[in-house]
Amino acid sequence: MSSKRMLVTAALPYANGHIHLGHLVEYIQTDIWVRFQKLRGRRCIFICADDTHGTAIMIRARQEGRPETELIADMQAAHEKDFAGFDIAFDHYGSTNAPENYELCKQIWGSLSKAGLVREDDVEQLFDPEAGTFLADRFVKGTCPSCKSVGEYGDNCSKCGATYAPTDLIDPVSTLSGATPVKRSAKHLFVQLEQLHAFLDAWTQSGEHLQSEVANYLKGHFLGKPLRDWDVSRPEPYFGFPIPDSPGNYWYVWFDAPIGYIASTHQWCKRNGEQLEDWWKSSDTEIHHFIGKDITYFHTLFWPGVLKAAGYSLPTFVHIHGFLTVDREKMSKSKGTQVRASKYLEHLDPSYLRYYYASKLGPRLDDIDLNLSEFAQKIDSDLVGKVVNLASRTARFVDGVGLASEYPHDGGLFAAAAAAGEKIAEAYEQCDYSRAMRLIMELADAANAFVDNTAPWTLKKDPNQHVRLQEVCTIVLNLFRQLCVYLTPVLPRLAQQCGRLFQVDIKAWDDSQKPLCGIQLSKFEHLMQRVDLAKVNQMIEESKETPAPSTNDAAVAPASSAAPATDSGDALLAEPLAPTCTIEDFAKVDLRVARVIKAEEVPEAKKLIKLTVSLGGDTTRTVFAGIKAAYTPAQLEGRLVVIVANLQPRQMKFGLSEGMVTAAGAGGTEVFLLGVDSGAKPGHRVH
């Protein structure tokens, strides 16, 4: 805690793909932490870079018919734009394909060699003679040697679960060229991590550098037996750095990627007149890595081992987070839940996502779930309804007069919230953002209760109370600003807007400790919009990719007709069967096919969409359906639905509903309208 400098990294995004909402968990988490440290007055830099090497990049560049350097330059530009759009503020964003990185790789490699950690061995691998390249497991397909299932990948069988080497496949085929691969032996270089076993045992199990789950995982998984040698070379052709003392070999991408942290820092140092040694070889510098749990091994065993052997500082802490699920499921391109950062930004405010992730993130590596209806609800309720609302409830009342010259008595509200600052800071420090957000919202609740109790709108009506009115508003506006200070790491834009309103920028955490008085305010402007669900839905809709019937997908997807249904009984348990009814009972209900001819938003309604449906001919009905969270009007117009046509009309707040649209599902966003097979016409009765 007392060290002078702090270096923070997020994992280097791979240049083979665009940034999506899953990646952003990490960058937002890290950015919040860095902004927090800076706000607290720490000397802290945030370093990142694009990870650019490897077979995947090489193959893709070939497919696109252009040099790798062009591909990675384009991708880097896209990454940086996405990050900037989400207010992720790196101090430096470099690339692993940089001369500084090559220099460092050579130097560190030299240290590893000198320490006697490198050995050489022959590895037999499949080679694609047409593409002229060795093939990683996932680039080979063939028949499973165990169950004879065809079209299986080179590492294991999706049918019988057998594992094998790609060289064991029957009739192997390269997915790159379709050629039959041949076995070929090549010289590989290995780092003998086992020599560092004792060190890694001590470092990982000290309880100081890793979350306890991670330490347990490593202990149970790797450290209980000898550590395997790590294959860090790849024979040409390969896009990467050539190994100087091993002609024809390149460093495996995972060797030079983490070194990119140092190289990128080096670039930053050059631009800012700093010494790299102060940041990577000084006990006065804390180094914090933020990563996802999928790359735990590299950052907690291999990387510390390399740093140790090469004489660099070890990470102070490796902060590991879980994955993002959307509505409890893995992100899916076909469902449109793998939303690109750029797509999100076309429709929604980045502050929403920053706050939502913050409200979900804790210090452990649990997965976090993006629930789209909760997302909208939380932003509306917490940020718009509670925080921003404080300013819009009071700012107008002090137009022209400004804030009181002295801070009035407020029953200890400001002081209590100022005191809460330490607890909030501690939560941020421990990466327990969800706790920090909860604490902040408690303060917002207290402030809103104060507004209600003092009723400034009543004071306004009585000219004798105008001094008191100014006092009340001074209190509320200061409480609002205090919240903005606490939220600054998460919502830098709100903090800026707050600065404009008060004409005093938020610069430090301690700005939360003293109220502002005797100043004029700028004209109040809306600070944040409510979440438009239509835009959320549209974003999902536009993110849907119909899976191309490529050979890859065909192998993974089960043949639809042959796959046995494995539906859970949850739905039935949630809503058990109703008592038996007779055919006469059922006949009372007149279900009809109808066409939605008009679907309209009911802005005042939380759940309803107003539908005009046609039963054929001139017969139309107006029906209000509680499906707003699940459908947009645009999705509904023109489609066929099944309605209860003889339901007694019901007067609702927004008009008369003359029927009911049938749907299944639990409600909320889980509403699935009933459709009919093609051929049915509006007016047809359901028997």
Structure-token pair, residue 632: 């947009």
93 Cβ contact list (under 8 Å, min separation 6): 48, 49, 50, 80, 83, 264
Q: Please say whether the beta carbons of 154 and 162 come within 8 A.
A: no
Q: Does 29 bind RNA (CB under 7 A)?
A: no
From the CB of 48, what's the least distance to RNA, in Å? 22
Distance CA 373, CA 628 (A): 11
Show contacts with RNA in window 460-479 (CB under 7 A).
none
Q: Does 56 bind RNA (CB under 7 A)?
A: no
Q: Mark 231-270 with x for binding to RNA (rule: CB under 7 A) and - for no binding.
A: x---------------------------------------
Distance CA 167, CA 409 (A): 79
Q: Does 456 bind RNA (CB under 7 A)?
A: yes
385 Cβ contact list (under 8 Å, min separation 6): none
Show contacts with RNA in window 603-662 (CB under 7 A).
604, 606
Mark the segment that binds RNA (CB under 7 A) among 210-218, 262-270, 350-358, 499-507. Answer: 210-218
In Å, the largest CA–CA distance within the chain is 94
Neighbours of 578 (CB within 10 A): 6
Q: Which is nearer to RNA, 103 or 670 (CB)?
A: 670
Neighbours of 104 (CB within 10 A): 23
Q: Does 163 bind RNA (CB under 7 A)?
A: yes
Q: Does 136 bind RNA (CB under 7 A)?
A: yes
Mode of pairing for the β-strands spanning 655-657 and 650-652: antiparallel
Q: Does 423 bind RNA (CB under 7 A)?
A: no
Among 40, 493, 530, 598, binds RNA (CB under 7 A): 530
Q: Does 104 bind RNA (CB under 7 A)?
A: no
Neighbours of 373 (CB within 10 A): 17
Show contacts with RNA in window 314-353 (CB under 7 A).
323, 328, 330
What is the dihedral sign for C-alpha 662, 665, 667, 673?
negative
Phi and psi at residue 315, to the nearest 5°: -60, 140
- How many residues of this chain interact with RNA, rule: CB under 7 A? 69
Structure-token pair, residue 319: 């902060």
Q: Does 278 bind RNA (CB under 7 A)?
A: no
For residue 510, give the amino acid letter: D
Among 42, 84, 177, 297, binds RNA (CB under 7 A): 297
Mark the segment that binds RNA (CB under 7 A) among 67-75, 105-113, 391-399, 412-420. Answer: 391-399
Distance CA 580, CA 416 (A): 60
Among 360, 481, 595, 628, binds RNA (CB under 7 A): 360
Q: Which is nearer to RNA, 458 or 551 (CB)?
A: 458
Among 80, 103, 168, 213, binds RNA (CB under 7 A): 213
Q: Please say whether the beta carbons of 661 and 611 come within 8 A.
A: yes
Mark the segment that binds RNA (CB under 7 A) among 175-183, 449-457, 515-523, 639-647. Answer: 449-457
Residues pairing with 5 in the sheet: 43, 285
Distance CA 301, CA 397 (A): 60
Residues pairing with 626 in the sheet: none
Categorise residue 617: left if φ over 0, alpha if ψ from -120 to 50, beta otherwise.
left
Among 80, 103, 201, 374, binds RNA (CB under 7 A): 374
What number of CA atoms fall less than 13 Å from residue 258's CA on the CB side? 26
Among 526, 639, 650, 681, binds RNA (CB under 7 A): 526
Nearest CA to 658 out of 598, 606, 611 is that of 611
DSSP 222: I
From the CB of 264, what's the least distance to RNA, in Å? 23
Distance CA 431, CA 540 (A): 29
Q: Does 230 bind RNA (CB under 7 A)?
A: yes
Q: Which is nearer to RNA, 451 or 636 (CB)?
A: 451
Q: Does 47 bind RNA (CB under 7 A)?
A: no
Q: Which is nearer to RNA, 231 or 542 (CB)?
A: 231
Among 161, 248, 638, 675, binds RNA (CB under 7 A): 161
Q: Does 429 bind RNA (CB under 7 A)?
A: no
Residues that bind RNA (CB under 7 A): 123, 125, 136-137, 154-156, 161, 163, 165-166, 213, 216-217, 220-222, 228, 230-231, 293-294, 296-297, 323, 328, 330, 360, 362, 364, 366-369, 371, 374, 377-378, 380-382, 384-386, 388-389, 392-394, 396-397, 434, 438, 441, 445, 448-449, 451-452, 455-457, 526-530, 604, 606
